[in-house]
Amino acid sequence: MIGEKLKTSLAVFTLAMATLNVSAAAAETKLLFSTFFPMTHPLVADVLKPWADAVEEETKGEVVIEFSAASLAPPPEQLDMVQNGVADITVQYSSVVPNRLTSLMMTELPNPHKTTDATSVALWRTYEKYFSAADEMKGVKLLSLFTLAPQALFSLSETPPQSVEELKALKLATTPGMAATAWGSITPGVVAGPAFRYFEVVSKGMVDAYVAFTPIEVISFNLSRYTKSIAGLGELTTAGSFALVMNERAWRRLSEENRAALESLSGEAFSRRLAAVEAANNRVIEDLKKDGVVFSTISDEFSADLGEAFQFLQEDWIQKVSDKGIDGAAAIEYYRDLLKSL
């Protein structure tokens, strides 16, 4: 009898443990994050991974975000990748999908700049007030928006160009899109191509300077030995903008409690995490200074001439977003006012 009771007890215990394990496995949702940024980039190491850890902690381990070893799609196809369920979460660079994320291109217009987290928060608030109704994120769940560090003018000479006239004589590497359009309006020597081509054209001396990069990318793309000076653009600073998005079906699969937890860590809360990128960029600047790179800011006269040359960019952008029902002029004014107060 005792043996039979023991067998019965063991069977009940085994069944209970199996049920418990099944329930635990069912409760955990794994989300795959794919990005074209290397895992060592400050955006991933200092922002995205800590955010993913916070999501796991806030959901008590029920939502686990894992990062793919390599990007599952090229940069222009990150939104489609998530929309089609190849990955659950990604960050989409707006500049490579300008017809879809037209509103976010506002940060690539010449603007005043404060800190990376301030521009990110200002972009998020401007989106909520002016851009969201355009429904550019249709097909994906928008979690947040952010920018990277301010872009500058990087020269292979210790003396950066001092005027628009000097720029006209230079060969300039840039990424395609708005940056190529902007600088191409000044100099016929623009060499436009993807960021990974910068090393080739810079190291071989095919250009005199390059733009649409941040100091962090100088290190990431091994350009520090060729870069002799970096000129900040002051009131004409540009910054790349990004959308943090999630697959809608994956979003709906989450419990109401876990969706609330994820949203509490997204939006403006996520945008503020870009302070970590600001800090990383500042550390890189100090390292570059120690290596002899000369830092400066363009003169007021140079800035005025550049601003006049770039004015058409804002006018073109306002027209494009107006076609989507957005008051671009009001959005820019609101964004710039926010930057003053943040």
pLDDT 10s digits, 287-326: 999 999 999 999 999 999 999 999 999 999 999 999 999 9
Q: Domain for residue 158, yes or no?
A: yes
Cβ atoms < 10 Å from Cβ of 307: 15
pLDDT 10s digits, 57-115: 999 999 999 999 999 999 999 999 999 999 999 999 999 999 999 999 999 999 999 99
Average pLDDT, the chain: 93
User: Mean pLDDT across the stretch 209-232?
Assistant: 97
- C-beta of residue 151 within 8 angstroms of C-beta of residue 212: yes
**Domain limits for position 168:** 152-237+293-311
pLDDT bracket for residue 21 (50, 70, 90): very low
Number of domains forming the structure of the chain: 1
Q: Looking at residue 64, what is its pLDDT?
A: 99
Nearest to 64 by CA among 333, 245, 258, 252: 258
Q: Domain for residue 285, yes or no?
A: no
Q: Domain for residue 171, yes or no?
A: yes
- C-beta of residue 269 within 8 angstroms of C-beta of residue 138: no
Q: Looking at residue 61, what is its pLDDT?
A: 98
Q: Domain for residue 302, yes or no?
A: yes
pLDDT 10s digits, 22-53: 444 446 899 999 999 999 999 999 999 999 99
pLDDT above 60: residue 10:
no
Q: What is the CA radius of gyration of the chain?
A: 24
More reliable by pLDDT, 79 or 12? 79
More reliable by pLDDT, 272 or 196? 272
Q: Domain for residue 203, yes or no?
A: yes
Q: Looking at residue 198, what is its pLDDT?
A: 97
More reliable by pLDDT, 22 or 262? 262
User: Mean pLDDT across the stretch 241-268?
Assistant: 98
pLDDT bracket for residue 13 (50, 70, 90): very low
pLDDT above 70: residue 179:
yes
d(CA 140, CA 245): 6
Q: Looking at residue 6, what is its pLDDT?
A: 42
Please list the residues that pair with 296 across neighbouring strands: 231
Lowest mean pLDDT among 13-17, 200-204, 260-264: 13-17
pLDDT above 50: residue 133:
yes
Q: Domain for residue 162, yes or no?
A: yes
pLDDT bracket for residue 216 (50, 70, 90): very high
pLDDT above 90: residue 165:
yes
pLDDT above 90: residue 54:
yes
Q: Looking at residue 12, what is its pLDDT?
A: 43
CATH number of the domain at 161, please: 3.40.190.10
Q: Looking at residue 193, what is its pLDDT?
A: 93
pTM recorded for the entire structure: 0.91
Q: Domain for residue 147, yes or no?
A: no
Q: Looking at residue 2, what is its pLDDT?
A: 45
* Percent share of the chain, pLDDT over 90: 92
Please list the residues that pair with 142 across neighbouring strands: 245
Q: Looking at residue 183, what is its pLDDT?
A: 97
Q: Looking at residue 23, what is its pLDDT?
A: 44
Nearest to 216 by CA among 81, 47, 2, 103: 47
pLDDT bracket for residue 18 (50, 70, 90): very low
Q: Domain for residue 320, yes or no?
A: no
